[in-house]
Amino acid sequence: MTGAMRACRGLTLSALLLVACSSSEPSKLDSVVKGNAPPAANDPWSASRSDGDDRDGDGDDSESGGGLGGMDLKGMLEKLGEGLEKPGPYEAPAKSAELDDTKPHWGVMSMSGGIVEREAFSWRGGGGTELRTLIDRLRALAKEEKLTGLVLRVGGVEVSFPDLVELRAALADFRAAGKRLACHTEQASNATYLMLAACDQIAIAPLGQVAITGPAAMPIHVKPLLDKLGVTADFLHVGAYKGAAEPLTRDAPSPETQETLGAILDRRYQTLVDVIAADRKLDPATVKGLIDTALFPSEKAKAAKLVDQVSSFEAFRDGLAAGGWTKLDVEPDGNDQLKTMLKLARFIGAMPPEKPMGDHVAVVYALGDIVDGEGSGILGARSEIASHTLVAALRAVTNDDSVKAVVLRIDSGGGSAQASELIWEAVTALKAKKPVVVSMSDVAASGGYYIASPANKIFALADTLTGSIGVVGGKIAPGGALQKLGVNTFPMGRGKRATIMASLSPWNADEKAAIQSSMEDVYNTFVGRVAQGRNKKLEEVLPIAQGRVWTGTKAKELGLVDEIGGLDAAIAEARKLAKLDESAGLEMYPPAPTLRDLLKSFESGSGFGAKVEETLASLHAVDPVIAGEAARLIGLALSFRATTIQAVAVLPVLR
């Protein structure tokens, strides 16, 4: 069950409970005072009692629980909540029969699906477990005195390499606290196996399979699709390696893009080899041979020392948890009525967002494409970086005297150059008043690096993708598509370049020269911002710019980042710079969604058009990941209608 589903269930029950117990005053339908007048003849509730019958004969109905014939609505709803939590007669039990939670015992927790920075919400649903939620849960369990260890039932995990490094660190901390960690899976590929490798023991189902195939990139080019539609992608770039428009303008990756991808794959391959060799106590050369073999059915996986045991989950769990076991949720708050009621109050706007008392650090997430304007508001801030929305948030924490430092957590390939500049200005103003530390997640490239550059200190993981200091500009020219539909257009204007933006055809040579000049101005500003933020000379930045994407390890060598480390390291540094101790709380942005946020974010459809939607639907049936990436690329192409010049990096699907 996703966090969104758990939240909806908990909030629904809380809403009903709130209705049931919201007033301490007697209802007009309740007979709680002796001598009350009999109910009116048109009182529909009175029919549930026989002529004001006093069951105990004392003339006092105060124990009846009020209307609905004396039914205890609050108690009924509480039992309903308990019933939703309790497994049915044909479901797996929630705990072992011999469990005594006052004595040492094991916990059992499931982990599968997407692990994300912030869970996205919309009327069409959200999904994924937040990385921070998972890490905090592991730390809380490590402190439970009676918990001997944890059995993780791991399904297919979808997580980026950098986030996986942070999760593995949390698993290592759990073990360092003296707890045992055992993992079971039915099958595991690259990312899932790297997570399993952090466990003391690994078991796999009898017909399971380990697939350590090595990292792979999947550049997706939609130019043939645009050609089929009669659409021309007319794009320019500044920076020899700025290949953001290539998926729209080329049938295949350029040599420069292939060089960049080769460096990324080399870094991730080395991570895979190093982790497996260290955790499974194997020679690196042996691990490379295993990766070349790739596929290991369960018994062969055991023979290759990739797993320790071949067993069903139940037999593996019961063999470990002799003292009993109980199921644990990643997000246990759904079982706490008080916490759920507070969440409901915040959801409906009756209480402000959760915030620490006293001096603290704010963690501001900047996730997704950088776009102009308000975007989808605060709810949309979980999946997009809208300049007006994020700038407002940055100004709020700038002016909040209780916020002593800010960690800007970035996972973005950039977007609008104008929006990036506005956010850069807000980060610069923030830095003038208090320390700013950047934590880079999977990607902080192009505009994502632009907004990071003013920080006091920048942290990245070894496999983070960053840099891409360059500019791309262009437009989609649908004139050919319209002609196929029988529509001819005739742009007219006064002035040499009157139709430069209105024309539905590609730019002519003069128009391209004008656009190129504007792009070079933006590029020079971008490079200047980086030089200023990193305390470098312009001539030092230019060679490492050029739109080139760097791994976190290489970026540190080049001086584009300061330290290799995750969000925890960035938070520790922020507290240090602000002279706060480790107990200082964290304020998170964007906060938990509210009803107002949901209503403001209502959207209907993608707006691609029927023909494109049909093509994407067919592609989705073949490969949902590639279909999603193709949709993202088309959305990016359409965004150039509003924002001609962008600081954006388009990176391939990495598996």
CATH number of the domain that 181 lies in? 3.90.226.10
Residue 57 confidence (pLDDT): 47
Query: Is the domain of 474 the same as that of 574?
Result: yes
Query: Is the domain of 436 the same as that of 467?
Result: yes
What is the residue range of 567's domain? Answer: 352-654
- Coil, strand or helix at 330: coil
Cross-strand partners of 360: 403
CA distances from 106 to 139, 229, 310, 575, 653 (A): 15, 58, 20, 35, 38
Query: Is the domain of 451 the same as that of 377?
Result: yes
Query: Is the domain of 502 the same as that of 581?
Result: yes
Are residues 477 and 505 in contact, defined by beta-carbon separation less than 8 angstroms?
A: yes
Structural domain includes residue 428: yes
Structural domain includes residue 591: yes
Query: Is the domain of 550 the same as that of 437?
Result: yes
The tokens describing 13, both together, are 């029950």
Query: Is the domain of 206 the same as that of 299?
Result: yes
Residue 87 confidence (pLDDT): 77
Residue 504 confidence (pLDDT): 81
Query: Is the domain of 392 the same as that of 308?
Result: no
- Coil, strand or helix at 25: coil
Structural domain includes residue 285: no
Query: Is the domain of 479 the same as that of 609?
Result: yes
Structural domain includes residue 491: yes
Helices and strands, number each (H, E), in the chain:
24, 24
Scored b (16 or more CB within 10 A) or e, 87-120 reads: eeeeeeeeebeebeeeeebbbbbbbeeebbbbbb
- Which residues contact residue 436 at a Cβ distance below 8 angstroms, ignoring those fewer than 6 apart? 405, 406, 407, 408, 427, 430, 454, 455, 456
Residue 418 confidence (pLDDT): 94
Q: What pLDDT digit, counting tens, does each position of 94-147 carry?
A: 899 999 989 999 999 999 989 999 887 644 445 689 999 999 999 999 999 999
Query: Is the domain of 329 the same as that of 358?
Result: no
CA-CA-CA-CA torsion for 370, 372, 374, 375, nearest 10 degrees? Answer: -50
- With a cut of 50, list the residues of the chain below it in pLDDT: 17, 19-37, 39-41, 43-57, 59-67, 122-125, 604-611
Structural domain includes residue 325: yes
Count of domains for the chain: 2
Query: Is the domain of 529 the same as that of 477?
Result: yes
Query: Is the domain of 472 the same as that of 522?
Result: yes
Structural domain includes residue 561: yes
Structural domain includes residue 34: no
* Bridge pairing between strands 563-564 and 471-477: unpaired
CA-CA-CA-CA torsion for 627, 628, 630, 636, nearest 10 degrees? Answer: 160
Cross-strand partners of 551: 465
Structural domain includes residue 78: no
Question: Roughly how many angstroms between the first and final C-alpha of the chain, as a whole number?
Answer: 25
Query: Is the domain of 650 the same as that of 546?
Result: yes
Q: Which helix (H) or strand (E) holds 205?
A: strand 201-211
